[in-house]
Amino acid sequence: MRIEHLKKSYGAVQAVNDLSFSIEEGSCFGLLGPNGAGKTTTIEIMEGIQEADSGTVYFKEKPIDRDFKKKVGIQFQSTALPEFITVKETLELFRALYPDPRDMDEVIDICSLQDILDRDNRKLSGGQRQRMLLGLAIIPRPEMVFLDEPTTGLDPQARRNFWKLIEKIKKEKTSVLLTTHYMEEAEILCDQIAIMDHGKLLEIDTPSQLLENHFDGALVTVPHTGRTDLGIKGAVYTETHLEVSTDNLDLTMNELLNSRLNLEGLSIKKPNLDDLFLKLTGSSLRA
Amino acid sequence: MKQFTAIVRARTMEFVRDRGTFFWNLIFPVVLVVGFSFAFGSGKDALFKVGVMGDAAEGTFLSIEAVETIDYSNQELDGLLDKLRRHQIDMLIDFNSSSYYLNTEAASAEVLRTMSGADLGQFTEQKVEGEAIRYVDWLVPGVIGMNMLFSCMFGVGFVIVRYRKNGVLKRMKATPVTPLTFITAQMASRFLIVLATSVAVYAGTNLFLNFMVNGSYLLLLLITMLAILCMISFGLIFAARIKSEELASGLMNLLTFPMIIFSGVFFSLEGTPEIMQQVSRIFPLTHFIEGARGIMIDGAGLVEILPNLTVLGGMTVLFLGIAAFLFRWE
């Protein structure tokens, strides 16, 4: 699946600004970005739910058309379900909407829905609801699955359970596009990650390559207690802390010891995607 | 077809399991009919209604306060005699042919004969026979029609707006279902629901009120089905694009209330200003109530109610066209 030069604006707001990338068949692609970055708009254009102002979405080298909907599974960020019907009835309803639906038992098995089949849609917990929505997404035997923030609001346990479901879907060689706020999740599940902000692509690569490109070795942080002229190589002084991204930890530690700075509060860690995310998108608050 | 039946099934289950709405749709009209028949069914008002053809002489019993005269000079005798048979008037006097008519089954006949004896001594008396139509016989098509209107407008119009707002429509848009299939399935489900509740309300109240039906039940069913279709199509216009439930419900209330008042659900429009009667013709409900009352009370056949059927059919096509033109998933 591939998008080329997508643009979409709402009034004066440019939600998606000349965005292009491609997703390899059978891979899991993570689309990350802060709130309001344009993730949902992008994904909805790719699903064929919204129309782009310009640009094209290709699936298997052909622009998407009506038949595309028969081949994709979609899980929206928030979806209301028909009320007063049970999980099983909802699955049956959606099975009837597709020409070649997956067997009921298979859907129940993949998404672990056995316990909640007879429960009213309105009485599902957050995790159960997401499992059920994932079930709806895989009913068409999709070649491509879109998951828009499927684990937002779930507790850590439910989130990890959900990852297992996504792993199962990946094993079927289904391509997955996942948006998420959780870097850890993207790092574990995704083969490729794109970070976007203000409707534009900032970076795209495998998780490990992204980190390698932006960070060297380890990240050392220590409170500088007002001393900002310590002569340490590669040091960045924030308001309270001194940060050094270093590929030579021995050297940096020696420099710090020699500077006679109070090292209480020192931390050394391997940079992760969270750090990269903040580095790329900035840490200022936004709505 | 598989998509269609699945959506009809889901929507119908949603309705039946929503106990509150379900019972409201069944109980409300029954309570209305029974309540009104209890409140207004206990006999007629003391006033005598006398229909007059030709120029009435001055100073007769017609000037007594208890007697209301209605000038029918320009109307056909047959129709007026029907009114007399159904106790809508108590007496009919034709000054042109010097004759008067009384309904022998009306309690007022004896009183009026005595009262008018002095003035109409030279007139020939003619008799008609006929049972009174009770208010409740006249009321029941109105209440059922009103219930149909609410159920169709809110069950389709309001619900689709809610689906649009909460994202059910968006989820449907992401499937291979076409808007046409989705909408016709919604209509079909509502059609079955409204038809079933209307029949149930009628049959239920009929058990203890024994309605007068002079015409054909089949024809009654036909006009009911056509009216339901017409009102659902009307509701669809609101469902086509509106995103806010408040706006949809406000607009629908704004339109349903005048319809209920001006379509003659509770009170006959006869005697109201001409302009009001003309305006009422644009409401589908008026045509259903008129047709259904015609069948039940006057024993009207297909020919007599054909104008009502035609208008309902035409409005259905028109409303569907407008709704299809305006419809957007989002």
Taking only the tens place, the pLDDT of each residue in B133-144 is 778 888 889 999
Query: For chain B, what is the domain count?
Result: 2
Please indicate, yes or no, whether residues A173 and A244 belong to a single structural domain of this protein: no
Contact flag B14-A66 (C-beta cutoff 8 Å): no
Confidence of residue B42 (pLDDT cuts 50, 70, 90): low
Task: Please indicate, yes or no, whether residues B185 and B160 belong to a single structural domain of this protein.
Answer: yes
CB spacing of A93 vs B170 below 8 angstroms = no
- Is the residue at A278 inside a domain? no
Is A279 inside a domain boundary?
Answer: no
In a domain, A225, yes or no: yes
Chain B CB contacts of A85 below 8 Å: 10, 13-14, 17
Segment holding A85, helix H or strand E:
none
Interface probe for A, chosen from B171, B177, B245 (most Cβ of A below 10 Å), is B171
Residue B47 has pLDDT above 80, yes or no: no
For position A82, what pLDDT does the model report?
A: 80
Where in the sequence is the domain holding B103, given as residue range(s)? Answer: 48-128
B175 interaction partners in chain A (CB closer than 8 Å): 69, 94, 97-98
Q: Residue B166 — φ and ψ, nearest 5°?
A: -90, 0
Q: Does A104 touch chain B (CB under 8 A)?
A: no
Domain identity same for A86 and A176: yes
Residues B258 and B140 in one domain: yes
Determine the average pLDDT of the residues in B227-244: 92
Predicted local distance difference test score (pLDDT) of residue A19: 92
Query: Is this prediction's ipTM beyond 0.85?
Result: no
Interface of A with B in 109-148 (CB under 8 A): 136
A226 domain residue, yes or no: yes
Inter-CA distances, A216 with A222, A243, A272, B135, Å:
17, 13, 11, 91
Kindly state whether residues B84 and B176 are assigned to the same domain.
Answer: no
Quote the distance between the C-alpha of residue A257 and its chain's center. Answer: 40
Note whether B250 and B171 are same-domain residues. Answer: yes
Task: Tell me: do A173 and A63 sit in the same domain.
Answer: yes
Same domain, B124 and B138: no
For position A287, what pLDDT does the model report?
Answer: 39
Instruction: Name the 3-class secondary structure at A251.
Output: helix
- Whether B146 and B230 map to the same domain: the answer is yes
B28 and B103 in a common domain = no
Domain limits for position A232: 216-270
Determine, for residues A83 and B14 on separate chains, whether the beta-carbon distance falls below 8 Å. yes
Q: Assign 3-class secondary structure to chain B.
A: CHHHHHHHHHHHHHHHHCHHHHHHHHHHHHHHHHHHHHHHCCCCCCCEEEEEECCCCCCCHHHCCCEEEEECCCCCHHHHHHHHHCCCCCEEEECCCCEEEEECCCCHHHHHHHHHCCCCCCCEEEEECCCCCCHHHHHHHHHHHHHHHHHHHHHHHHHHHHHHHHCHHHHHHCCCCCHHHHHHHHHHHHHHHHHHHHHHHHHHHHHHHCCCCCCCHHHHHHHHHHHHHHHHHHHHHHHCCCCCHHHHHHHHHHHHHHHHHHCCCCCCCCCCCHHHHHHHCCCHHHHHHHHHHHHHHHCCCHHHHHHHHHHHHHHHHHHHHHHHHHCCCC
**Are the beta carbons of A93 and B6 separated by less than 8 Å?**
yes
Domain match, B285 and B203 both: yes
Residues of B in contact with A84 (CB under 8 A): 13-14, 17-18
Q: Are residues B79 and B111 in the same domain?
A: yes
Identify which of A213-222, B69-78, B79-88, B308-317 has the greatest average pLDDT.
B308-317
A82 domain-assigned: yes
A250 shares its domain with A184: no
Q: What per-residue confidence (pLDDT) applies to A88?
A: 94
Q: Are both B272 and B173 inside the same structural domain?
A: yes
Same domain for A96 and A13: yes
Searching chain A, which residue's CA lies closest to the CA of residue B329? A49
My answer on whether A10 and A46 are in the same domain is yes
The identity of residue A265, as a single letter, is G
CB-based contact, A226 to chain B, within 8 Å? no
Which stretch, A91-105, B15-29, B64-78, B128-142, has highest mean pLDDT? A91-105
For chain A, 287 residues long, the average pLDDT of each consecutive 10-residue run is 92 90 92 88 91 91 88 85 88 93 92 91 88 92 92 86 88 90 88 91 89 81 82 82 85 88 87 80 56
- Which residues of chain B approach chain A closer than 8 Å at the C-beta? 2-3, 5-7, 9-11, 13-14, 17-18, 163, 166-168, 170-171, 173-177
Chain A nearest-CA distance from B22, in A, is: 12
Q: Which of A65, A69, A51, A48 is nearest to A15 (CA)?
A: A51
Do A106 and A34 sit in the same domain of this protein? yes
Q: Render pLDDT for B114-131 as a digit per residue (tens, 0 to 9).
A: 888 878 878 888 888 877
Instruction: Tell if the CB–CB gap between B13 and A89 is shorter than 8 Å.
Output: yes
pLDDT of residue B43: 52
User: What's residue B71's pLDDT?
Assistant: 84
Same domain, B53 and B117: yes
**Same-domain check for residues A161 and A22:** yes
- Whether B175 and A97 lie within 8 Å, measured CB to CB: yes
pLDDT of residue B277: 83
Chain A and chain B share a number of CB contacts under 8 A equal to 66
Instruction: Please give, rounded to a whole number of angstroms, the shortest distance from the CA of B27 to a CA of chain A.
Output: 21
pLDDT recorded at residue B63:
79
B141 and B124 together in one domain: no
B chain contacts of residue A78, beta-carbon cutoff 8 Å: 167
Contacts of A25 (CB under 8 A, 6+ apart): A173, A175
Domain identity same for A171 and A115 = yes
DSSP three-state, residue A174: coil
Q: Minimal Cα–Cα distance from B1 to chain A, Å? A: 9
Are residues A52 and A149 both part of a single domain? Answer: yes
* Chain A environment of B179 (Cβ under 8 Å): none
Average pLDDT over residues B74-97: 84
By C-alpha distance, which of B129, B98, B100 is closest to B112? B100
Residue A147 pLDDT: 93
Residue of A nearest to B2 (CA): A96
How many angstroms away from the CA of A167 is the closest CA of chain B? 23
Nearest to B3 among A82, A90, A97 (CB): A97
